[in-house]
């Protein structure tokens, strides 16, 4: 009787499926979570790019305009939550020696840089003496809604450098 039971192969496919199904489901949901995380990263980067581009389309900028532009950045992130989205826009101008320094900076969720501070990590050769750029930065922390394959948050950051379009420099006004 034991010999006939050992040779019986009628349940092999079910057992193989029971062993492989959890691994295949974990792989499927893991790829789905990674894909959604990549979408969140792209949307956050796109938001920073658009925010920087909108700032460069003006020759002057004030607090009301900046709030509206940050709201556009938040809208671009939808349907992802905007609470973990941190943006900063900084106007940078090279002094006579070609050193990039902050002329003004404003942030949402992150503090602005100090006026007159040298910008560390600025790409070499991007600014000649007297030139100005707008630097748009974004940080986003993505937390998976499933939390099985990605149990902790993934943090993304990106920086964009954009030249002003309508004037040599975007000037901060108080009005």
> Tell me: the pLDDT tens digits for 54-70?
999 999 999 999 999 99
**Total structural domains in the chain?**
1
CA-CA distances (angstroms) from residue 161 to 14, 39, 63, 153?
57, 22, 21, 27
35 inside domain? yes
Tokens of 21: 């199904």
Name the residue range of residue 112's domain.
Answer: 10-172
pLDDT tens, residue by residue, 3-14:
665 666 777 888
117 inside domain? yes
pLDDT tens, residue by residue, 91-119:
999 888 888 899 999 999 999 999 999 88
Contact (CB, 8 A) for 143 and 102: no
Write down the pLDDT at residue 175: 65
Rounded to the nearest 5°, which phi and psi values hold at 12?
A: -60, -45
Angle (CA) 28 32 33, round 5°: 120
């Amino acid at each position: 009787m034991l010999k006939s039971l050992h040779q019986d192969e009628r349940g092999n496919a079910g057992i193989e499926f029971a062993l492989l199904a959890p691994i295949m489901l974990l792989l499927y949901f893991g790829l789905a979570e990674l894909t959604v995380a990549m979408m969140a990263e792209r949307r956050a980067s796109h938001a920073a790019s658009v925010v920087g581009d909108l700032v460069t389309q003006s020759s002057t900028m004030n607090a009301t305009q900046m709030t509206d532009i940050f709201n556009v950045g938040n809208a671009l992130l939808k349907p992802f939550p905007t609470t973990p989205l941190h943006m900063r826009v900084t106007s940078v101008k090279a002094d006579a020696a070609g050193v990039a320094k902050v002329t003004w900076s404003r942030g949402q969720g992150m503090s602005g840089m100090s006026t007159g501070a040298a910008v560390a990590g600025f790409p070499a050769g991007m600014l000649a003496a007297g030139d100005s750029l707008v630097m748009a930065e974004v940080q986003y922390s993505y937390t998976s809604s499933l939390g099985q394959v990605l149990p902790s948050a993934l943090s993304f950051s990106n920086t964009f450098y954009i030249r002003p379009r309508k004037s040599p420099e975007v000037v901060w006004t108080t009005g």
